[in-house]
Amino acid sequence: MLVSFSFADKLLDEYNNNCRPVSDDFYSDAYRGWFYKEYCENLKKKIEERQKESQIKPKPKKEVPKTDIPKDYSKVTNPDEKVKIIKENLENVDFWQKTKYPWQWLKDDNVLKRIEQKMFKEVVDKAVYYSSLDYTDEEKIGTAVYLVDYSRRNSFNFAKGYTSYILANQQYNIADRVGRGSWSYRSVSSTKDDKVRNYILQRINNIGLIFFGSANCPYCREQVNALRYLRDRLPNIYIRVVVSDASECSYYLSTGVVSDCSSSPLSFQRFNVEILPTIFIYYNKNNQRYLDVLSAGLTDAQSLMYGIMSFVYKIDTGMEFNYAEFY
């Protein structure tokens, strides 16, 4: 009797009921002997085929290709070759755990800048993972930290470049140009912006900005671009630059943006200026001068405009300026 499989139960039942002999001498069975050759043989073949098909074949194990690792990594000096070796050994555990050279290579910017973006993410993941397994190894931990810092530096450089470009090309300032919503929002926003501008212009002769900077400070130079755009909106705004070295005034005066420049190292200490650029604002009202910090760090023209408005409005009214309610 054939052993039953769940998917062939019906065939097996049919075979056992109709094809199994009931006497010792199968071929002398007048009732079923003829049935064997004509039907039962084919039925038996079908059952055997079904049983073979039902057997689950184990999937072959995926083998990680082994890469020939140079015996002496110290002889590899070409950055492109180093990247190639790292790429070939991303899945090689011994490469990360038992060799020191990859950890040294990955602290070289000449190597890192040659790694494609997708591979770089995998490299960082591997470095962080294997350094965490051997966290007492300062070289491995140091490399992981360096890779994270490298990513941050690239992100910062992009942000700096993006901000610098927008400051120099305000027509690409999306928020300033189109607002954040529908045409009606932009229309209302534009009306409010005009009211803010007019409010400041009515008091412009009593308002001044004191810009602490340095000609050697790249962010200060970018700040000049933002101030140029601000001056376009507020033509008569007074802007005085304070530097620590008198020779730096020539640069700022040549920009055509500032009104005056003076050298006063002590002013940096007096006003506790720790970040460049830093801009102070003063407002003369009722024979009294009010002074406060307007910005510390690179700031766009729109933010400066609303900073001026907030400062002046509070002195005028004694209340905080609320843009949403300003009509």
Task: Using alpha carbons, list the distances in angstroms from residue 214 to 263, 268, 275.
Answer: 10, 11, 11
Q: How far is Cα 147 from Cα 92, in angstroms, rounded to an integer?
A: 20
| Beta bridge pairs of residue 283 | 207, 290
| Beta bridge pairs of residue 242 | 212, 262
Q: Which helix (H) or strand (E) holds 36?
A: none
Q: Which residue has the tokens 């005056």?
A: 260
Q: Which helix (H) or strand (E) holds 172?
A: none
Q: pLDDT tens digits, the chain, 327 residues: what are they? A: 444 445 556 667 766 766 665 555 555 555 555 555 566 777 777 777 777 776 655 556 555 555 455 457 778 889 999 999 999 999 999 889 988 888 999 999 999 999 998 899 999 999 999 999 988 899 999 999 999 888 888 887 787 777 777 767 766 765 555 454 544 445 556 777 888 999 999 999 999 999 999 988 889 999 999 999 999 999 999 999 999 999 999 999 999 999 999 999 999 999 999 889 999 999 999 999 999 999 988 899 989 999 999 999 999 999 988 876 665
pLDDT at 183: 45
Task: Using alpha carbons, list the distances in angstroms from residue 167 to 14, 159, 197.
Answer: 86, 12, 19
| Beta bridge pairs of residue 289 | 284
118-125 long-range Cβ contacts below 8 angstroms, 24+ apart:
119/87, 119/90, 122/90, 123/86, 123/90, 123/147, 124/148, 124/151
Task: Using alpha carbons, list the distances in angstroms from residue 288 to 122, 200, 211, 284.
Answer: 62, 18, 21, 6
Q: Which of 113, 110, 69 is nearest to 90 (CA)?
A: 69
* Neighbour count for residue 212 (Cβ, 10 Å): 24
| Beta bridge pairs of residue 241 | 211, 261
Q: What is the pLDDT of residues 309-322, one digit of tens each?
A: 999 999 999 998 88
Cα-trace Rg, the chain = 40
Take residue 25 and report the two structure tokens written for it.
């001498």
pLDDT at 5: 46
- Structure letter (DSSP) for residue 73: G
Question: pTM of the entire structure?
Answer: 0.47
* Bond into 277 cis (ω within 30): yes
Determine the straight-line distance between the first and last CA of the chain, rounded to whole angstroms: 96
Q: How far is Cα 89 from Cα 63, in angstroms, rounded to an integer?
A: 14
Take residue 133 and report the two structure tokens written for it.
């397994």
